[in-house]
């Protein structure tokens, strides 16, 4: 455990839980989504409430599509968004983002914090879909999610991935129940 910072900053004592989830940007900022894809005016408040209830902070991952192609997701004529993300220079930017998230996660771990989960997005998201196959992620998961899983694997980090599928109320309920169960179980 590293040295603590000077004490006495908070008269009530330091109350942090040392737990957090990593979550893609649009969960808390629907403005990141392409037109027609926003499920709320601003954010998934229920997910925020679950994290708050169970003492888990939230590390927001910059929207990967915006990171590599800008908000307008400009691609060459006839090139689908996923295809564009699988090509350079977009792919290189996704790898950089994944490396930076993995480094940040490792830094937290080295300092005594617990990353509980990576929360991605809808099943058809070219950047952030999460599909499972066997013990790992399926190839049709989002391009960024695959880059991040690869970075985690390379660094020996084992953190569960889950898509938060707000495109369907039933699926979203399943995902939120999964998160709540995980945070409840890991609290004990
Ligand atoms: S799902 Fe991922 S790529 Fe799509 S808007 Fe959300 S953060 Fe951006």
How many percent of the chain have pLDDT more than 90? 89
57-98: per-residue pLDDT in tens?
Answer: 999 999 999 999 999 999 999 999 999 999 999 999 999 999
**Which one is predicted more confidently, 71 or 8?**
71
Index of the ligand 1 atom closest to the CA of residue 66 = 8
Q: Are 148 and 100 in contact (CB under 8 A)?
A: no
- Out of 22, 23, 24, 61, mutate this one to test ligand 1's pocket (max ligand atoms within 8 Å of CB): namely 24
Q: Ligand 1 pocket: which residues have CB below 6 Å?
A: 24-26, 32-33, 63-65, 121, 125, 127-128
pLDDT above 90: residue 8: no
The torsion region of residue 112 among left (phi > 0), alpha (psi -120 to 50) and beta comes to: left
Burial class (CB in 10 A: 0-12, 13-18, 19+), 163: buried
Segment 16-34 shows an average pLDDT of 96
User: What's the pTM?
Assistant: 0.93
**pLDDT at residue 188, rounded to an integer:** 55
Could you tell me the distance, in angstroms and rounded to a whole number, from the CA of residue 30 to the centre of ligand 1?
A: 9
- The mean-pLDDT minimum among 3-12, 155-164, 179-188 falls in 3-12
CA-proximal residue: ligand 1, atom 2 (nearest): 128
**Residue 85 in 3-state DSSP?**
helix
Index of the ligand 1 atom closest to the CA of residue 62 = 7
pLDDT above 80: residue 7: no
**pLDDT at residue 13, rounded to an integer:** 85
- Out of 23, 32, 172, mutate this one to test ligand 1's pocket (max ligand atoms within 8 Å of CB): namely 32
**pLDDT at residue 115, rounded to an integer:** 97
Q: Are 14 and 125 in contact (CB under 8 A)?
A: no
Could you tell me the distance, in angstroms and rounded to a whole number, from the CA of residue 23 to the centre of ligand 1?
A: 10
Q: Where are the domains of the chain?
A: 19-185
Distance CA 120, CA 165 (A): 8
| Average pLDDT across the chain, whole number | 94
102-126: per-residue pLDDT in tens?
Answer: 999 999 999 999 999 999 999 999 9
């Amino acid at each position: 455990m590293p040295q603590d910072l000077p004490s006495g900053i908070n008269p009530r004592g330091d109350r942090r839980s040392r737990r957090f989830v990593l979550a893609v940007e649009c969960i808390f900022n629907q403005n990141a989504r392409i037109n027609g894809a926003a499920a709320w005016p601003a954010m998934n408040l229920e997910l925020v409430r679950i994290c708050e209830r169970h003492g888990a902070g939230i590390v927001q991952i910059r929207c990967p599509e915006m990171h590599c192609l800008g908000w307008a997701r400009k691609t060459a004529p006839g090139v689908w968004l996923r295809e564009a993300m699988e090509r350079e220079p977009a792919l290189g930017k996704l790898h950089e983002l994944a490396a930076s998230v993995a480094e940040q996660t490792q830094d937290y771990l080295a300092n005594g914090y617990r990353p509980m989960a990576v929360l991605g997005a809808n099943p058809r998201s070219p950047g952030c879909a999460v599909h499972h196959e066997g013990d790992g992620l399926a190839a049709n998961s989002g391009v960024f999610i695959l880059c991040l899983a690869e970075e985690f694997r390379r660094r020996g980090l084992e953190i569960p991935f889950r898509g938060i599928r707000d495109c369907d109320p039933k699926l979203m309920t399943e995902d939120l129940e999964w998160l709540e169960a995980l945070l409840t179980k890991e609290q004990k």
